[in-house]
Structure 1
């Protein structure tokens, strides 16, 4: 039985409405939780470049509930530096990761933040204090001055990625489909000053 043109347009309208209804919850939650890089820069100190950055962590209710139940949450801060070239592709000079773990300990009533890369640990009485510590990177040595030449142009980038694969196995499928677990930032790019 052939389908008329009006039936096709009605079907298309229904599909579009379903897509809009499916996307609405994402836009409603988008302002309530996110991870954003507010500012990042690399400056020359002596013979090495150091990274300073401000990151804003706004956790969703699902992430806060998981923390309160003792589930650790992991984020990876990726830092990249590339030399821009006119031919082929950009040359990668640096690809560094800084990994953070935050966990609530109910018996002690504290939040513990661990820099998995350096081993530094901090204990905090509130979640906001723990997130504040993760949100500030100050004067972290990243690369040597000798790696940079004066006649080239360099681009630096930074991204914060939430590691859903570190969640307990029963929670992972939910974390991949529920927008409350989309707790990664976009790339923040800037030109490296020599």
Structure 2
């Protein structure tokens, strides 16, 4: 009788531990936003950013076996308020894909929104191309009110839900698939 209760308790603890969400952290393998800025050109604010992608051995193996990897770069601009939550003025996503094409022996990097991309002979050169974002229009100057304070933020999310179905459960449980970044925040000058 007593061993049955212990087994039930152990089973409950095991299930509870399995169902609890795994914390997301930037470990040895993650995207890191090194620098980001919005510059005013004519009447538009343009985003430029430098991102470092550090692939884990599991992600590198999957990529070399033809599995495409997707990241979403989230851009958010908020108006700071003293007594309420900050108001989101702009929220924009840029989606990028990297895939190895074995027949051609090239890595293909593609901006999923604009369709722009390129072929690279090595993984290092493909990751370098993926790391630079240059002059992407984010918002018009007229959207911002004079005298207000604004905060801009950028983060990179690895899209595990776009992995092939058999790989997804492993990607949610294995820390080698936590390839996202935290928020990189800065104050805007308008």
Q: TM-score range by the shorter chain?
A: 0.7 to 0.9
Alignment partner for residue 180 of structure 2, among 172, 178, 184? 184
The CA deviation at 1:149 is 1.4
Task: Say which SS state the counterpart of residue 30 (structure 1) adopts.
Answer: coil
- In 2, Cα distance between the equivalents of 1:38 and 1:150? 29
- In 1, Cα distance between the equivalents of 2:187 and 2:173? 35
Alignment partner for residue 109 of structure 1, among 83, 105, 123? 105
The CA deviation at 1:46 is 0.9
TM-score, normalization: structure 1? Answer: 0.83
Is this contact kept in 2: 1:43–1:193, CA < 8 A?
no
Higher gyration radius (CA): 1
Alignment partner for residue 73 of structure 1, among 69, 72, 90? 69
Which residue does 1:16 correspond to in 2? Answer: none
Alignment partner for residue 46 of structure 1, among 22, 42, 48? 42
TM-score, normalization: structure 2? Answer: 0.85
What stretches of structure 2 of length at least 5 have no aligned partner?
1-23
Which residue does 2:189 correspond to in 1? Answer: 193
Which residue does 1:121 correspond to in 2? Answer: 117
Which residue does 2:27 correspond to in 1? Answer: 30
- In 2, Cα distance between the equivalents of 1:52 and 1:36? 15
Alignment partner for residue 138 of structure 2, among 131, 136, 142? 142
Task: Say which SS state the counterpart of residue 184 (structure 1) adopts.
Answer: coil
Is this contact kept in 2: 1:52–1:138, CA < 8 A?
yes
Is this contact kept in 2: 1:34–1:184, CA < 8 A?
yes
Give the ranges of 4+ consecutive aligned residues of structure 1 lying more than 3 Å apart after TM superposition.
none
The CA deviation at 1:87 is 2.4
Task: Say which SS state the counterpart of residue 37 (structure 2) adopts.
Answer: strand
Cα-Cα RMSD: 1.7
Is this contact kept in 2: 1:158–1:187, CA < 8 A?
yes
What stretches of structure 1 of length at least 5 have no aligned partner?
1-25
- In 2, Cα distance between the equivalents of 1:181 and 1:41? 28
| Count of equivalent residues | 168
| Matching of residue 173 in structure 1 with residue 169 in structure 2 | yes
